[in-house]
Amino acid sequence: MKRFEEDIRKANRIGITGHVRPDGDCTSSCLALYNYLQENYNADRTKTIDLHLEPIAEPFRFLTSSNCIQSDYKDEEPYDLFFALDCGSLDRLGAAQYYAMQAKKTVNIDHHISNTGFASVTLMVSDSSSTCEVLYDLFDVDKISKATAEALYLGIVHDTGVFKHSNTTEKTMAIAGKLITLGATPNKIIDETFYQKTFVQNQVLGRCLLESILLLDGKIIVSSISKRAQNFYNVVPSDLDGVIDQLRITKGVEVAIFLREDDVQEYKVSMRSNGIVDVSKIAVFFGGGGHILAAGCSMKGSLHDVINNLTIGIEHQLKNAEKC
């Protein structure tokens, strides 16, 4: 942690957070940093280190210190040092953005190409598979405990889709290998936190696939789930996490879109590209962000209008690519 060594040593009050609706990389990077700081910089417990994060998905709760997560926003004395992880813009921090704004120094560690540079210090590595990979580079390997290794490994597994997305590099694999040596258990983490689905998660996945449609000669696949259907199955947003990945691997598809109705005529948009289209550009245009091949945003309007507005941008990029 050489780069932030002095800041950490000087700080009495340190806060850590990640983005709203924490995914595997967000949850793990926050827990990995929390464990690393507690173990290596706070052995005498003289510092206050707080971890603020929205409630995490059930399969991640085995990670060490997940019981230390504080999910209720409280009026806190300003932090001397505040880490915002896996998050490219202030609004994505949800209620925790107020801690970030009040902190004496905010450090943003991230890998989103759409990063807005909202923090006092930004460490954004867009070609890194995950924020966990960025953190691994910051950490002193000799000081990574089994608990921290497990968290870092889980984050890398989730953001690379189990080492299959194009963000998986030789370096990513080497880091994952080292994390196994340090105590991470691949079979448990991959099966129990990534592939395993509850009965209802499988049912909803099936329904979303059944109701998917192809547009633009099969280059775009779209599916959506209404609020009513989510209530019927009694699912929370994280129950829908695998849907977009399954849509993306449909043969012939360039872009997959999944729309989750959050409120009347309000949709959370997930997009995945197979290479030609930069979906982060489309997400940023509609006020969101992400990576070139995986991005998202929130949009208002009828389902028809939302799909139409997204596909205009995608079609435009596909046509431009054809010209070259």
> Which residues would be at the binding site for ligand 5GP (CB under 6 A)?
19, 88-89, 92, 112, 114, 244, 270, 288-291, 294-298
Minimum gap (Å) between residue 313 Cβ and Mn ion = 22
CB atoms within 10 A of CB 78: 13
DSSP state string for 149-172: HHHHHHHHHHHTTTTTSTT--HHH
* C-beta of 52 vs 248, nearer to ligand 5GP: 248
Find the binding residues for Mn ion in span 124-183 (CB under 5 A).
130-131, 159
Quote the strand ranges of the chain, DSSP E: 13-18, 48-52, 69-70, 81-85, 106-110, 121-124, 213-215, 220-225, 255-263, 266-273, 289-290, 294-300
Minimum gap (Å) between residue 298 Cβ and ligand 5GP = 5
Identify what 184 binds: Mn ion, ligand 5GP, none; CB under 5 to 8 Å per kind: none
Tokens 């009828």 map to which residue?
302
Are the C-beta atoms of 220 and 254 separated by less than 8 Å? yes
* C-beta of 16 vs 220, nearer to Mn ion: 16
- Of 113, 110, 129, 124, whose CA–CA distance to 171 is shortest? 129
Binding window for Mn ion (CB under 5 A); candidates: 123-131, 177-185, 231-239, 287-295? 123-131
Q: Contact with Mn ion (CB under 5 A): which of 7, 80, 86, 261?
A: 86
Minimum gap (Å) between residue 22 Cβ and ligand 5GP = 10
110 touches Mn ion (CB under 5 A) = no
Q: Which residues bind Mn ion (CB under 5 A)?
A: 23, 25-26, 86, 130-131, 159
